[in-house]
Amino acid sequence: ETGVTQTPRHLVMGMTNKKSLKCEQHLGHNAMYWYKQSAKKPLELMFVYNFKEQTENNSVPSRFSPECPNSSHLFLHLHTLQPEDSALYLCASSPTPTGNSQPQHFGDGTRLSIL
Amino acid sequence: DAKTTQPPSMDCAEGRAANLPCNHSTISGNEYVYWYRQIHSQGPQYIIHGLKNNETNEMASLIITEDRKSSTLILPHATLRDTAVYYCIVRSFSGAGSYQLTFGKGTKLSVIP
């Protein structure tokens, strides 16, 4: 499935670096999501955006800063991360965040490693 | 939140039907059952979802019991590419106004040649 594209696929960064993850969806959806998947842990929802507006922040540390310039693009800006932030970061989209019968479609994620 | 229970692992012979069970005994009347799968190093892939009627698409069939307390995902002719972790999810409405996907541990399906 190529509806949701994430770049880069792999990222290695030091704790003092600043980097950004990018997500783009070609499905015409209005809602976009960031998830974190750590080793041997379930997916954790981080942020929800609806029509470019952030509607949910699940107590995510401020070293993660999302940006949604339009309904098709979502960024996650990273700075001064910790080793425990190493994980697979997944982006997803859906028509709206409130549709009970609307599946979310995921990208293949960015594998982030913090040195 | 309605929780789901799945067996941790299953094997299936290639070409045979794979039947993956899921229990969701606390499901509410308006909560949908969703199935996703995740192949190593890829993002979760949506398979199918349903409310109370059985559903079928090009990937799979979903059988939901009449009392909605359990369901079965059926892959009619499993191939080696179906080897993945399969997640059964009952979506819950978050306090902030969106439907959340809460992934559990899933069932690791191994398709054997």
Residues of A in contact with B93 (CB under 8 A): 100
Residue-wise pLDDT tens digits, B40-95: 889 999 999 999 989 999 999 999 999 999 999 999 999 999 999 999 999 877 66
**B97, B101, B105: residue with CB nearest A55:** B97
Distance from CA of A49 to the nearest CA of B (A): 10
Q: How high is the pLDDT of residue B30?
A: 83
pLDDT at A2: 66
Q: How far is CA A53 from CA A50, B61, B95, in A?
A: 5, 36, 17
**CB of A96 within 8 A of CB of A81?**
no
How confident is the model over A98-114, as pLDDT tens digits? 877 889 999 999 999 99
- The interface residues of chain A toward chain B in range 63-92, judged by CB-CB distance below 8 A, are 90, 92
| Alpha-carbon gap, residue A11 to A8, rounded angstroms | 7
Mean pLDDT, residues A24-51 taken together: 92
CB of B46 less than 8 A from some CB of A = yes
Q: Are B98 and B47 in contact (CB under 8 A)?
A: no
Nearest to B32 among A50, A100, A109 (CB): A100
Q: Are B18 and B11 in contact (CB under 8 A)?
A: no
Residue B113, CA distances (Å) to B20, B75, B81, B86 in order:
18, 16, 11, 19
Q: Residue A42 above 80 pLDDT?
A: yes
Residue B27's CB is within 10 A of a number of other CB atoms, namely 21
Instruction: Check residue A100 and give its pLDDT.
Output: 77
Question: Torsions phi, psi of A95, nearest 5?
Answer: -55, -50
- Contacting residues of A for B44, CB less than 8 Å apart: 43, 90, 106
Distance CA B36, CA B26 (A): 20
If you average pLDDT over every residue of chain B, what do you get? 92
